[in-house]
Structure 1
Amino acid sequence: MRIVFAGTPQFAVPTLQALAQSGHELTSVYTQPDRPAGRGRHLQASPIKALAIELGLPVFQPTRLRDPAVQAELAALAPDLMIVIAYGLLLPQPVLDLPTLGCVNLHASLLPRWRGAAPIQRAILAGDTETGITLMQMALGLDTGPMLMRRACAIGAHENAGELHDRLAGLAAEVMMAALPALADGRLIAEPQPEQGATYAAKLEKAEAWIDWQQPAVLIDRQIRAFNPWPVAQTRLEGQVLRIWRAHPDATPCPGAAPGVVVQANRDGVAVATGSGRLWLDQAQLPGGRPLPAIELARGRPLLGIHLGC
């Protein structure tokens, strides 16, 4: 097949690597325009653009796909199939209609649960024990197209979003490789998504990273895991922002301690009272520093009795 690939972040890299070794003809790669990044705000290519250049593939970076000139450029490639994974641009109907076999999308959830921008993080926040990859035929709605293949995987009890992201990225490549022969032969049957159980995974906002110590320890733990590596859960420690990278919950009550108060800080660990149970801090970071084991943080300053979040 003649394949056009569209993707942008690191999540899409394993799939592009697998496609490059598949024996199919990758005609081109579409990715988002270079964006300012880092302290110097210099333009930086997406991970997919960097890999495409390394593979010697033509790269296109339109700002929108509704432009007739962009659509004509895509039509000239005469694709049999367009594979989309975390691209970041909406595909209008003329683009969806261009490839002979249409456009397919790899999505990081078991649809119809967690349609939208942040399915990995929202699954962890909600306490889901299972997620996966769905390959779907693309339609105009947001992640509403009929499903072609689904592959489930468990979410680890202590797994954070970065770790789950990497596992799902590898699983997406496996699903795509398993589906390609059947797509080429027309053997995959598209199954409409049920509306029952549909949920929306809204884009993450930095304001969500602030910890509310009134919440139970198990919910704060989910927040910390969901926001690692971005935007990283945070609280206030004596006027400074303390970023919490890793923690684990404990159902042991803290009688008489207000939520947010450090109830233990010694060689055995750092524990904070919450609305229900206590949260053990495993790794934290002060401004200008690097993430440290919380025990090391406690060695550098007295924490016992400190009220976090104030």
Structure 2
Amino acid sequence: MTKVIFMGTPLFSVPVLQQIIRDGYEVIAVVTQPDRPVGRKRTLTPPPVKVEAVVQGIRVIQPEKLKGSEELEEIKELKPDLIVTAAFGQLLPKDLLDIPKLGCINVHASLLPELRGGAPIHHAIIQGKPETGISIMYMAEKLDAGDVISQQKVEITDVDNVGTLHDKLSETGAKLLSETLPSLINQTVKRIPQDHSRATFAWNIKREEELIDWSLPGKAIYNQIRGLYPWPVAYTTYRDKTMKILKAEKVEVKHKKEPGVILDKSDRGPIVATGDSTALLIVELQPFGKKKMLASDFLRGAGADLAVGERIGSFNE
């Protein structure tokens, strides 16, 4: 039986691990990130992959950093035939890549060589791409630069957000890996080198990328909002305080108002001017220091005095 070490951390990785187990491979260990403090109370919380591994009775290894660590030596001693990673969160050192006879492979949430890096789902939506997908590839020392084994496209609809697309890609990744592993184990797969000249990168989202610039076209802002939902969430300012914008809808409106101006107050929420004729109806928001709420509830409560003609945010904050 093929001995597999699985390496992953967030929810995206869990269906992939579950599929490997269902397919009958021997998962001899799971490697994941250390437990981290979560929430306002900073409660030490295990990553989702660890939770699943414990349920399955699988040995768990949690290195802070792999290179030169005791955990790396522990992995070497296990002598896996194959290492499978999916959103593990660390680059693998060369001496680890060389261990398994069948190699180290990664389930990556983009159509490589596009969107290499840690936030491909976010950037695919923010960039307004009509599709993305899953790539299963051999791992290399450089970030997401290894030869591709298989790929599967996934449509991005106009109402997808990071949460919905994450789930679709996670399920697709698990299924594609299941279809790919038999030929990989039989060593009949074809390796397809990536065209590195076409590589683009999807770095982890920075705080400044969460800020809405209302002078941008409405569609771009709409893509930003859904490309940051449900995490880390786009935000603007309202009366000099931060306000998170969780959900919005596009509305075509002819106007000559400055970006960020409240054009109207509908039953569902305020309609905000952007840099073109595509205004945005804010549907769900989170005022500073409060819980997230429907924009309609905000207008009936704390935002009851929000006036048409008032401006939120600014051109370049």
TM-score range, shorter chain: over 0.9
Partner SS for 2:285: strand
Aligned to 1:302: 305
Partner SS for 2:282: strand
Aligned to 1:273: 273
TM alignment of 1:91-106, pairs within 5 A: 91-106=92-107
Identity of aligned residues (%): 39
CA contact (8 A) 2:12 2:170 kept: yes
> 1:214-250: per-residue Cα shift (whole Å, max 9, x none)?
1111111011011111221111112332211111223
Aligned to 2:262: 262
1:64 aligns with 2:60: no
Higher mean alpha-carbon deviation, 102-111 vs 282-291, is at 282-291
TM alignment of 1:223-238, pairs within 5 A: 223-238=224-239
* Structure 1 Cα separation of the partners of residues 157 and 184 of structure 2: 32
CA contact (8 A) 1:261 1:273 kept: yes
* Structure 2 Cα separation of the partners of residues 224 and 217 of structure 1: 11
Q: TM-score with structure 2 length normalisation?
A: 0.94
* Structure 2 Cα separation of the partners of residues 213 and 7 of structure 1: 37
> 1:180-210: per-residue Cα shift (whole Å, max 9, x none)?
1111111211100012421011110122111
Aligned residues: 309
> 1:259-293: per-residue Cα shift (whole Å, max 9, x none)?
11101003264211111121111111213433322
Tell me how far 1:251 sits from its aligned partner.
Answer: 3.4
CA contact (8 A) 1:265 1:295 kept: no
Partner SS for 2:300: helix
* Structure 2 Cα separation of the partners of residues 269 and 65 of structure 1: 49
> 1:11-46: per-residue Cα shift (whole Å, max 9, x none)?
101011111211111111001111122222232111
Aligned to 1:194: 195
> 1:106-127: per-residue Cα shift (whole Å, max 9, x none)?
1000000000111011111111
Higher mean alpha-carbon deviation, 130-139 vs 240-249, is at 240-249
Partner SS for 1:201: coil
CA contact (8 A) 2:62 2:71 kept: no
Aligned to 1:150: 151
One-letter identity of the residue aligned with 1:161? V
| Unpaired segments ≥5 residues, structure 1 | none
* Structure 1 Cα separation of the partners of residues 76 and 34 of structure 2: 20
Q: TM-score with structure 1 length normalisation?
A: 0.96
CA contact (8 A) 2:6 2:85 kept: yes
> 1:131-180: per-residue Cα shift (whole Å, max 9, x none)?
00000001101000000000001101111111111111111111111111
Aligned to 1:118: 119
* Structure 2 Cα separation of the partners of residues 58 and 232 of structure 1: 35
Tell me how far 1:258 sits from its aligned partner.
Answer: 1.2
Aligned to 1:130: 131
CA contact (8 A) 2:63 2:69 kept: no
| Unpaired segments ≥5 residues, structure 2 | none
Aligned to 2:41: 40
Change in 2 beyond 3 A, CA 1:270/1:56? same
* Structure 2 Cα separation of the partners of residues 218 and 71 of structure 1: 46
